[in-house]
Amino acid sequence: MNKIRIISVFLFLLMIPSLMNAQRWKRQRYEFSFGVGASNFLGELGGANQIGTHYFKDFEWDMTRFAAAAGLRFKMSNYFAFKTHLTYGRISGDDKLTTETFRNYRNLNFTSDIYEFNINFEGAFQQEQIGSRYRFRKHKGGLSGYEIYSYAFVGAGVFYFDPRTTYNGKTYRLQPLGTEGQGWDPSKAKYSLVQFCIPMGVGFKYTIGNSIGVGLEVGIRKTFTDYLDDVSTKYYNFSASKNSIIWELADRSDNDAPYNKKTYPERTAPGEQRGNSKEKDSYLFAIFSLNYKLTSGRGHLPRF
């Protein structure tokens, strides 16, 4: 009997480090992150040398712009977490960057700042590295999980945008002008500058120390609007308008192009195709982040 007790105590003592590591993540459930990176746009304007697709093969490297994000992550377990982000990015598109005949001839361009707030659900592909304060060379103790942590995410978000264009050295907000007849035609309301999106993508994190790590997160945003670039449907007849700037910004077809509007005026006549309303616009974020785990006390509230 004494031998059994001794063996039981010995096994229990061996299990203590594993039990402590297994519960350690609960004391580091909260993680703050800040990062910078890049944003890009998938839609009607610019893109590859083909008819617009709104997908990755229409990606235009020259339209990559700056982005920044801050977020707070809450771990539900070693494999699942919720994370909320506040992200800023700029998106742009320019028909001059494509040699596809009709898109290049259309000659439209835009820039818009994106302000997004989202809540995402993360699912890990492996257990996250907890970290150790004793991470020295040739020392294997105190580690649990993997140093590189990868995950997929999907969520819901809301964002604000405001497409603009520059013409003759002056910048114009496009939504108030109603370049496709919004506000001019009683049946066409102006589109909202606040929209919903579905973020989805993948992320990778690397543990540096007990509380510090770095990461990379790449995601696409599916939206429910086709007006991120102010282009969606058909050319509108502004003949009743005395505002010449609307004429100029709604139809900027290139007179120097092989198929110019002097030779082929019907290509940009009222009622002709200006965009593709069947496909909604999308945008991308790629963020490199610095992550800091907030250690909680007995009450499981983070210590700042």
Residue ranges covered by each domain of the chain: 27-294
What residue has token string 């809301």?
158
**Is 16 a residue whose pLDDT tops 50?**
no
Single pTM value for the model: 0.81
Percent of the chain with pLDDT over 90: 46
Query: What CATH topology corresponds to 27-294?
Result: Porin (2.40.160)
Q: How far, in Å, CA of 75 to CA of 34, rounded?
A: 17
Convert 151-209 into a string of H (helix), E (strand) and C (coil).
EEEEEEEEEECCCEEEECCEEEECHHHCCCCECCECCCCCCCCEEEEEEEEEEEEEECC
CB distance 220 to 284 below 8 Å: yes
Q: How confident is the model at residue 257, as a pLDDT?
A: 66
Q: How confident is the model at residue 278, as a pLDDT?
A: 86
Q: Decide which of 170 and 23 is more confident.
A: 170
Q: How far, in Å, CA of 189 to CA of 171, rounded?
A: 23
Q: How confident is the model at residue 145, as a pLDDT?
A: 46
Q: How confident is the model at residue 1, as a pLDDT?
A: 52
Looking at every residue in the chain, the average pLDDT score rounds to 82
Tens of pLDDT along 138-171?
A: 445 444 445 788 999 999 999 999 999 999 999 9
List, in sequence order, every residue forming a beta bridge with 91; answer none if it has no partner.
112
Q: How confident is the model at residue 49, as a pLDDT?
A: 61
Query: Which one, of 104, 91, 93, lies nearest residue 50 by Cα?
Result: 104
Q: How confident is the model at residue 15, as a pLDDT?
A: 47
Q: Strands 80-94, 109-124: parallel, antiparallel or unpaired by DSSP?
A: antiparallel
